[in-house]
Amino acid sequence: MSQLLSRALVSINWLSEALKTQTGPALRVLDASFYYPAIRNGRKEYEEQHIPGALYFDIDECKDQGSPYEVMLPSESSFAKYVGNLGINNDSHVVIYDADHLGMYYAPRAWWMFKVFGHDKVSVLDGGFRNWLKKGLPVTSEKTEVKPETYRAVLNPSRVKKFEDIERNISSKEFQLVDSRSHGRYTGTEPEPGEGIYPGHILGSLNLPFTEFLTEEGFEKSPDEIQQLFKAKGIDLSKPLTITCRRGVTACQLAMASFILGKEDTAIYDGSWFEWFQRAKAEHKVSQWKSEK
């Protein structure tokens, strides 16, 4: 099983072979492409071409629709209903990919959602759709019809941090906090996408951009390289770790990277900078941004 690169990743060759032998709920492939700002339309692109048998996992639909923040986790029952309708049950091996040019951008968020709701058999396609196409593997525009399955979701609250947890941590320092956005957005020297929010970071957080974990070709770097990245920032994987970003999407790349190294308890601050910007005290927001205040 060398092509199961880790329990978090499967190779393109592995998936290509598995699709020939595993059918129905045993193996479900999901396209989680979603773009913000909406420079591309993930669902439309999925309808035009996707891996045969894949279904579309809409991150913007499978979220807490009542939250004022951007992409918050849905309730257990909402998640269970959403994935059950995709023909997934608790025994399914779910493989997730996206079509971002980086190779893997949104897929780790969907991976983390399954993890946080107690699903163990979930993997990200290493290299993503970009490399599937590069290998000349089959794609289709055919709609995949599935029978709904019964799915039971149980949230693991220890893997999700709330605003109050982060606020308390500023003085208690119960866990290390790492921001996965680019250095410029972390320091506040390059703009945040979207209206009404300037860049910057949570007081006391370290910066380790998620792009550092990906090769130029769009694959995950080796476990040794991943280990080095954390080590170079002084992050101790034997201690509690929480990741933040803008809205809890790219943070999941670091959760996945730490999982590859055997750390399964990394948490995500779901509201991330978008919530923090709106709710935190001014002295808990660090930014070099020169805005018209």
Distance (Å, rounded) from C-alpha 150 to C-alpha 152?
7
Using left for φ > 0, alpha for ψ between -120 and 50, and beta otherwise, residue 218 falls in left
E strand segments, the chain: 9-10, 27-31, 55-56, 93-97, 122-125, 160-161, 176-179, 201-202, 206-207, 241-244, 267-269, 285-286
Instruction: Report the DSSP beta bridge partners of residue 31.
Output: 56, 97
Neighbours of 145 (CB within 10 A): 7
Give φ, ψ of 112 to 5 degrees: -65, -40
Strands 176-179 and 241-244: parallel
Catalytic annotation, pick one of 73, 125, 245, 267: 245
Listed residue (277, 281, 263, 183) closest to 226, CA to CA: 263
- Where does the chain have alpha helices with state H? 12-21, 42-48, 76-84, 107-116, 128-134, 163-172, 183-187, 223-232, 251-260, 272-279
Q: Is 245 a catalytic residue?
A: yes
Q: Which residue has the tokens 């070709």?
A: 217
Instruction: Report the DSSP beta bridge partners of residue 93.
Output: 27
Residues that are catalytic: 245
